[in-house]
Amino acid sequence: MLERYNELIDLINKASYEYYVLDMPTITDQEYDDYYNELLSIETKYPELKREDSPTNRVGGKVLDKFEKVTHKTPMLSFDDIFNEEEIEAFDERIRKIVPSPTYTVEPKMDGLSGSLIYEKGILKRGATRGDGVVGENITENIKTIKSIPLKLTKEIDIEVRGEIYMSKASFNKANAERSRNGEALFANPRNAAAGSVRQLDSRIAASRNLDFMAYFIPNPETYGLKTQSDSLKFLKELGFVTNYKLNSHAHNVKEINEHIEYLSSIRQSLPYEIDGVVLKVDNLKDEEKLGFTARVPRWGIAYKFPAVEVLTVLKEIKFTVGRTGKITPNALFFPVHVAGSLISKATLHNEDYCLEKDVRVGDTISIRKAGDVIPEVVEVKKERRDKELEPFKMIDSCPMCNTALIKKDANHYCPNNKCPARNIEKLVHFVSRNAMNIDGFGDRIIEDFYNMGFLRKFEDFYKLEINKETLMNLEGFGEKSINNLLEAIENSKSNSLERLIFALGIRYVGAKTAKIISKHFKSMEAFMNSTYEELVVIDDVGEKIAASIVSYFENEDNKLEINRLKELGLNMNYLDNNNSNTLEGKTFVLTGTLPTLTRDEAKEMIEASGGNVSSSVSKKTDYIVLGENPGSKYDKGKELGITMLNEEEFKNLFE
């Protein structure tokens, strides 16, 4: 039985290698399934035989409480980004100062996330995320579910292999189709889907997402007698890894580099996976050694990013929306198009001046792109395709929701009606938001529905929803559990510190940071409500504009009455100075790059909650720079000034 068991594993591993690596399957799917089912049957009957590299480990099954942190033996540094031919030429010139006649590998830049695999005697022992380059997370159980990652290598060696974890376009479309059927939010793009999948605590979920892995780097190639990056890629293929050997090429000058970039750009849409650029590496490993590293990036490589993809569509409608301050925003609604991995059907047109400058007209053919591959924007109107009878843009003169005449301030138009339904809905959305009262479970759609049904009209109505509990539970899409969760979150919010409530009120110009400063100064809502312009204007970071706005807000008796009603309903009206609230008093932080687990807003909130300040630029007054992935020029300036650098783990330690 043991002999047959080992034979089956060898047969299945060989079939996987031929299918994924060589792209030349020698057995049918039915034969593969027969071998697999026989293997599974043996392991069920004789569990003591099960090997670490058994293909049955790929189905997942382990559920973790959390991901352990792991330190990379060799830091996982990322490359600097460049965006045009001039920057390619500058990179080539820098290389030639040290290596007179370089040869480059030109490799597609996979649009996923970097991963590190550790093998001992050819058996997969650990998989980890890049993290901040020094410390990542142990995702071994999820890595094992990726079929293109060999659980056992063809050679019994110890080795670390790095590559890109990604989701193919087919797997992405399949996952979104399933999420659509289940009524779940769709993934924005394959990169985000892959990143979210490898960080699932239940490995069965990761297994269901059909992720892939493309190997591209060995940190210590000299150990295996390798002399070039090309040799490394061939060696990886021999070990059983999928590499991009069909699309990789060599270049000896800028002309050849540009030719291959143009080629990859031309076939980009037809590839089964997303690529967002090209990686250039000096091929000879001795040349790499001569070039070395800066403090944060290799000198021997660079990442060229494709220009933001622009696609054409037709503008169907310009729709005007109303924000909580009454600001009117024109929005372009167009026939849906795929841009940089997402299906896009609308983009903001900002204000009247923007629309007139672009000369947008309903019916126009327009080009759309994602600014920074994230935010949809209208690039231009293709006027050569315009129908001469299209009407020029005209700004509306009354609110689209309440018909009140608009007023213009600077470049923007506003609805002055404080009772406008659209303004009120946006105020309610802001009130429950994370940096405000942080009432979990209230999406925009729920608040709009509750508003239209009459359950929510004012802030105080959140704290009266308990009265309508039975009615709410009978609404379509709700039930006892979901309503109880909402009511529990509402009740918990009553104990928030004063600064959250002040920010939640939506006083013009009073952001989360200003609300914190005001709360620490006045200590109570009563003192804040009774403050004068003269008392406010002398507070650090308040100033004349904010002071005038606060005074104007409290001159409205309705606002005072609402705050008093919130007090009667049990909301805390005092500043709660928790134990660590002043530990970073007077310290200035700069955040740069993408952090592994924290969003920029979360990190900022942690700093400000502990008395620190967040700045957008590095100066001599900066105390700490918090480094994420791709930190950019702020890192370099911080090094020059001798400022303390923190990765995410070190940053979090400040709060323990």
Residues contacting residue 116 through CB under 8 Å, at least 6 positions apart: 72, 76, 126, 127, 128, 129, 130, 136, 160, 161, 162
DSSP 135-176: EEEB-HHHHTT-TTS-SB-SS---EEEEEEEEE-HHHHHHHH
Residues contacting residue 191 through CB under 8 Å, at least 6 positions apart: 111, 112, 113, 166, 167, 274, 341
249-251 and 104-110: which strand pairing?
antiparallel
Residue 652 bears catalytic tag: no
Task: Give the separation between CA 256 and CA 264, rounded to whole angstroms.
Answer: 13
Contact in structure between 117 and 149 (CB atoms under 8 Å)? yes
Q: What are 524's two structure tokens?
A: 């109570």
Residues contacting residue 331 through CB under 8 Å, at least 6 positions apart: 318, 319, 320, 321, 346, 347, 348, 349
Contact in structure between 144 and 127 (CB atoms under 8 Å)? yes
Task: Give the separation between CA 546 and CA 533, rounded to whole angstroms.
Answer: 10
Element of type H or E holding 194: helix 190-198
Residues contacting residue 629 through CB under 8 Å, at least 6 positions apart: 78, 130, 132, 133, 593, 594, 595, 596
Q: What are 436's two structure tokens?
A: 């405000």
CA-CA-CA-CA torsion for 574, 580, 586, 591, nearest 10 degrees?
-110
What is the distance between the terminal CA atoms of the chain, rounded to a whole angstrom? 55
The number of residues making up the chain comes to: 656
**SS3 for 108?**
strand
* Residue from 69, 109, 290, 346 carrying the catalytic annotation: 109
The catalytic residues are 109
